[in-house]
Chain A
Amino acid sequence: MKYYLLSVMQPVGEPPAPEILAEIGKRLDVFHQELREAGAWVFAGGLHGPESSTVLRPHDGDVLVTDGPYAEGKEMLGGICLIKASDLDVALEWGRKAALATTLPIEVRPFMHEAEADGS
């Protein structure tokens, strides 16, 4: 088993209307439940916007603190979902479900470390 990170690529700016968000939330609950039942669930969560970010930079043995995201862009990391899967095809299948649930692009990326097949 391998760990894969599913990243939700969210446009920066106004969020969708509350009723649309509620619909997406419901679909995500179903998706997360499916992950749990399949034993693929590790962790998932949405992130506050880039305006809530803080960046720390090493500088001459000290660390500089700056307000805001590391990189300004039209998209941001809106949330992550960490899963376990036996191979990329399985991970992409989960990614496809995540894309349909969130209505947003999903980036699927493997972790370097192996996941244990039993437990996490």
Chain B
Amino acid sequence: MRAVIAEDSVLLRVGLVKVLEAVGYEVVAAVGDSAALLTAVEEHQPQVVVTDVRMPPGFTDEGVRAALLIRRQWPEVAVLLLSQYVEERYAADLLSSNTSGVGYLLKERVANVDDFVDALQRVASGGTALDPEVVAQLLVRRHRDPLERLTPRERDVLGLMAQGHSNTAIAESLVVSDSAVAKHISSIFTKLELPAADATHRRVLAVLRYLGEG
């Protein structure tokens, strides 16, 4: 798979290239700012883009804006955003249009190579990967009242679901059966008054839509 990396810290950029190449990606370009990122995406048409949020020249949210542009212009390119801190608006922006093939992780998660690669692969294959901290923040925010109707277990399931995990992955991490997870999920959808849907990213969209607008 072809990948483009945008990260202004040389140290991390080199590290990311190494990690991606080690797990079988072909890094066609590694750049240091968002303008170069857009040029590289246009030129190489990669399958996946890994980009920092804060980049030159403004050091604010260049990465997010570039990601949105890429999602609009080349919807088939998956984008994984890395950020120094959690900002729910980035997540909302990113997920508002299309939740397939996007991810938003804290930068330091790349230190845990296995988790990072797992998230990257989920994104590259059209899924979603949200940092647990992002999800925690989304869940703590407004519109809590309907969420309070959820049992603690259902909250756990909702959290993992929002991170982009499949039913099987959720069942594994909570050490319950697949059918128990399915039961929890349908109960969550009932309580949140959302029509159940089967595709992973639709569930994330539903959760986020609910959190963002409900």
Are the chains A and B members of one assembly?
no
